[in-house]
Amino acid sequence: MYKIAVIPGDGIGTEVINSGVEVLKALSKVETNLPIEFTEFDWGSDYYRKHGIMMPEEGVEELKNFNSIYFGSAGDPEVPDHITLWGLRLKICQGLDQYANLRPVRLLPGIGSPLKDVDETDIDWAFIRENSEGEYSGIGGRSHKGYSHDTAMDITLFTKQGVERIQRFAFEIARSRPRKLLTLVTKSNAQRHGMVMWDEIFEEISEDYKDVTTDKMLVDAMTTRMVLDPKSIDTVVASNLHADILTDLAAALSGSMGIAPTANLDPDRRHPSMFEPIHGSAFDIMGKGIANPIGSYWSAVMMLENLGELKAAQKLMSAIEKLTSDNKFLPRDLGGQSSTKQVTKAMIDIISGKNH
């Protein structure tokens, strides 16, 4: 029995995660031997309004009892973003030391890219985002608030151990992919300490991965390469903030933010990993029933892969590809007309072998 902690969170997070759970239940019905038990947690901004915290103090400990965490989003128009973020998602990622953030990006069949003349073979990337330190270390401070010398500091922290483990993870992913090509993204010309250390460690580690071809890009130049020469890219590793920005661009180039999945992984398997669509809570469309749930399905594929359920993962991914290539039940951000409910039903029909 797989024990999944479900944290729908805020905004459209609840809509897409509920849809994902329904789809996973349908999958578990048709797959032999895929028993899943879902336990839902009401953490997020409503919880914050009631209790003054986004999740209970012992919440991270509680999550250790699960095999995986299926997460929606955190963000609310009434609660400052740094509170929703640090009180829930980052608290979990840091608390469980989920140091590797994996973001696959593909142009799915039937989906159009804003780039001209690209097809499914041109955009097939794996982004690896450092997920535990860097620009998101949370270290810093604010003083003299209210005075003209108000001062604020965010410290970007890179540790040798942190950089080494994420780069090794990236080399492993690159090695597992057919092209075996890894691009290191930094800004080591301007950020002359930490990012230079990234370069040095990369150089060192590459000795252990002679079968992987490597190259290096500065982050600004990487944005142009993604737009102008997408097929030259395969696996990419970058710091927390750089990869955050690049993966929004990547999601848009592959059709929509609504599709993109992510896995917050503890590759050492001390703790459960967490799977979520990357789009966030999207206040502008919340409650309208039109959110695109595909990112949450794809995140569920990553969750199944992480659990070692490769056949079920493949089946779910094929169902997503059938949904997009059929082009009949697509949500609005992909140019369709379907509501979240209609997309959910279409997916369940595909999984259970019903024809339309």
Chain contacts with Mg ion (rule: CB under 5 A): 244
Residue 280 partner contact from Mg ion, ligand IPM, none using kind-dependent CB cut-offs of 5 to 8 Å:
ligand IPM
Q: Is 102 in the site for ligand IPM (CB under 6 A)?
A: no
Query: CB-wise, 134 or 194, nearer to ligand IPM?
Result: 134
CB of 280 to ligand IPM, least distance (A): 5
Q: Would you give the binding string for ligand IPM spanning residues 114-153, x where CB under 6 A is met?
A: ----------------------------------------
Q: Which does 72 bind (CB under 5 to 8 A by kind): ligand IPM, Mg ion, none?
A: none
Report d(CA 310, CA 86) in Å as an integer. 33
Shortest approach of ligand IPM to residue 85 CB, angstroms? Answer: 4
Instruction: Report the alpha-carbon distance of residue 268 to residue 175 in Å, rounded.
Output: 18
The Cα–Cα gap between 330 and 338 comes to 5
Copy the structure tokens of residue 302. 């990553």
244 binds ligand IPM (CB under 6 A): yes
CA 146 to chain centre: 37
First to last CA, the chain: 32
135 binds, among ligand IPM, Mg ion, none (CB under 5 to 8 A by kind): none
Question: Residue 335, SS3?
Answer: coil
Q: Which of residues 259-288 bind ligand IPM (CB under 6 A)?
A: 278, 280
Buried/exposed 205-219: b ≥16 CB within 10 Å, e otherwise: bbeebeebebebbeb
CA distance 156 to 134: 5
Task: Fill in the DSSP letter of residue 349.
Answer: H
Dihedral of the alpha carbons of 110, 113, 118, 122, in degrees to the nearest 10: -90
Based on CB atoms, which residue is closest to ligand IPM, 278 or 323? Answer: 278
276 or 309: CB nearest ligand IPM: 276
**Interface positions, 183-212, toward ligand IPM (CB under 6 A):** none
Give the nearer residue to ligand IPM in terms of CB position, either 83 or 197.
Answer: 83
Question: Under the rule (CB under 6 A), what is the footprint of ligand IPM?
Answer: 85, 244, 278, 280
